[in-house]
């Protein structure tokens, strides 16, 4: 499907949150300190696109918190409450962009797009990639419909689900290791080759606690390795973690002792998800002896092809949902694995694009 915008003026809200795209030299290194207007001023605007800037916060994305992600979620919903807005662009640091984008996608039911972008090079550098990424993100936000939350970076359009940072410094920073990108943007048009898989959107969570109030769910990551034992998993549970993502080896494997610790954690009401430290491929129940067969039997929920950071956001969204604890594993499974793939479903979804944007 290819979108070429008509001549109608389009309104896009740009929500600025900081990151490299808003970073300037601080004497010893770079840190986010530029406003959204400063970021926007570096980029040309697609013809016919009007932009309203919202400065939400200004932090390096390694300082992202659940409270800030909830603030961002509500800011996006507030922007889309205006029926005259055609789409939203979020400028965000690349370190945790994949987490925030997926979290918003889990709660996004509006046909209008939310497009995340950022930069690998700081503001004002001669070879900066921010201006081009902002231009492309605005182009996509003004054009597409019914694709959920997107990541637009280095000329490519990615679905939020499954897209992770794969390069620490290179301009082509994002990819889904298990799936092709959705499409590309350039020369005034947006070309999309496939419909993204998305789970049924969740309602907005209840009002968030103030930052630092300690009332939001704690969800920890624990990685298995040679000589790995249950200590860190048990410590996370003892520290009050309501959710844990166990990052296994291979297709999602650990040890019999860790499988026992998972069973104990689940008995105590902790939600456990099982991911893998391998770059690509699904978690699969193949091995016993502490492998995924035993970990899933102990109550861990396999994450499919989602990596640890996004799996953590699915656990967090499950804990924030207004459902009984007994229903959480089933909800988590649906968020982690998305809809069941079927050709009729893809055909029905594809039919929504017959009228263009």
Say whether both 226 and 164 belong to one domain.
no
Domain boundary among 124, 157, 192: 192
Based on the domain organization, do 163 and 228 belong to the same domain? no
237 and 113 assigned to the same domain: no
Boundary (domain end) residue, out of 176, 192, 208: 192
Work out the average pLDDT over 251-277.
98
**304 and 223 both lie in a single domain:** yes
Residues 172 and 254 occupy one common structural domain: no
Same domain, 151 and 296: no
pLDDT value of residue 124 = 87
d(CA 255, CA 169): 35
CATH code (residue 114)? 3.40.50.1170
Per-chain mean pLDDT for the chain: 91
Q: Are residues 161 and 41 in the same domain?
A: yes
Report whether pLDDT(355) > 90. no
Active site residue 94: yes
Q: In CATH, what number is assigned to the domain containing residue 297?
A: 3.40.50.40
If pLDDT is split at 50, 70 and 90, which confidence band does 215 have? Answer: confident
More confident residue, 37 or 188: 37
pLDDT at 139 over 90: yes
* Catalytic residue, candidates 13, 17, 66, 94: 94
Residue 14 pLDDT level (bands cut at 50, 70, 90): very high
Is 79 a domain residue? yes
Same domain as 119, residue 18: yes
Residue 2: per-residue pLDDT: 61
Catalytic residue among 20, 117, 255, 305: 20
Say yes or no to pLDDT of 48 above 90.
yes
Q: Write down the pLDDT at residue 188.
A: 82
In this prediction, what percent of the chain has a pLDDT beyond 90? Answer: 86
Q: Which residues contact residue 31 at a Cβ distance below 8 angstroms, ignoring those fewer than 6 apart? A: 23, 24, 60
Residue 94 belongs to a domain: yes
pLDDT at 55 over 90: yes
Task: Identify the domain boundary among 148, 176, 192.
Answer: 192
Average pLDDT over residues 110-132: 95
Indicate whether 36 and 130 sit together in one domain: yes
Give the pLDDT score at 183. Answer: 96
pLDDT of 19 higher than 50: yes
Tell whether 246 and 322 lie within a shared domain.
Answer: yes
Q: Is residue 228 part of a domain?
A: yes
For 338-350, what is the mean pLDDT? 37
Report the C-alpha dihedral over residues 24, 25, 29, 31, rounded to 10 degrees: -30
Residue-level pLDDT at 18: 97
- The overall pTM is greater than 0.85: yes
Predicted local distance difference test score (pLDDT) of residue 213? 47
Residue 198, domain member (yes or no): no
Look at residues 152, 202, 155, 196 and name the one whose alpha carbon lies nearest to residue 178. 196
| 27 and 160 housed in the same domain | yes
255 as an active site residue: the answer is: no
Q: What is the per-residue pLDDT for 214? A: 57
- Arithmetic mean of pLDDT, 233-245: 98
Q: For residue 312, what are the domain limits?
A: 219-337
Residue 349 in domain: no
Please indicate, yes or no, if residue 356 is contained in any of the structural domains: no
* Angstrom distance (rounded) from CA 156 to CA 179: 13
Contacting residues for 194 by C-beta, under 8 A, at least 6 apart: 180, 182, 183
Number of structural domains found in the chain? 2
Q: How confident is the model at residue 352 (pLDDT cuts 50, 70, 90)?
A: very low
pLDDT at site 341: 40
Q: Is residue 208 part of a domain?
A: no
Within a domain: 65: yes
- Same-domain pairing of 162 and 295: no
């Amino acid at each position: 499907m290819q979108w070429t915008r008509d001549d109608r003026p389009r309104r896009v809200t740009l929500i600025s949150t900081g990151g490299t795209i808003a970073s300037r030299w601080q004497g010893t290194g770079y840190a986010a300190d530029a406003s959204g207007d400063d970021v926007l001023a570096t980029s040309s605007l697609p013809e016919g696109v009007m932009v309203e800037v919202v400065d939400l916060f200004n932090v390096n994305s390694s300082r992202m918190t659940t409270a800030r992600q909830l603030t961002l979620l509500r800011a996006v919903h507030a922007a889309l409450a205006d029926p005259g807005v055609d789409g939203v662009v979020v400028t965000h640091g690349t370190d945790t962009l994949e987490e925030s984008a997926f979290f918003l996608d889990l709660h996004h039911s509006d046909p209008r797009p939310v497009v995340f972008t950022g930069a690998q090079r700081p503001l004002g550098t001669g070879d900066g990639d921010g201006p081009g990424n902002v231009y492309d993100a605005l182009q996509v936000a003004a054009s597409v419909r019914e694709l959920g939350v997107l990541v637009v970076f280095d000329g490519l359009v990615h679905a939020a689900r499954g897209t992770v940072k794969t390069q620490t410094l290179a301009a082509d920073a994002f990819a889904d290791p298990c799936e092709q990108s959705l499409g590309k943007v350039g020369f005034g048009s947006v070309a999309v080759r496939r419909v993204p898989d998305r789970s049924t959107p969740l309602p907005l969570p209840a009002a968030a606690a103030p930052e630092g109030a300690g009332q939001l769910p704690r969800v920890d990551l624990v990685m298995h390795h040679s000589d790995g034992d249950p200590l860190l998993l048990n410590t996370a549970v003892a520290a009050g973690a309501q959710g844990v993502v166990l990052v296994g080896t291979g297709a999602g494997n650990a040890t019999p002792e860790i499988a026992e610790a998972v069973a104990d954690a689940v008995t105590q009401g902790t939600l456990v998800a099982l991911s893998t430290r391998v770059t690509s491929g699904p978690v699969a129940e193949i091995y016993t002896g502490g492998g995924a067969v035993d970990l899933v039997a102990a109550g861990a929920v396999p994450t499919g092809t989602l990596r640890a950071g996004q799996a953590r956001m699915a656990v967090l969204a499950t804990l924030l949902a207004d459902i009984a604890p007994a229903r959480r594993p089933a909800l988590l499974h649906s968020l982690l694995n998305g809809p069941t793939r079927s050709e009729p479903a893809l055909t029905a979804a594809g039919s929504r694009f017959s009228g263009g944007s």
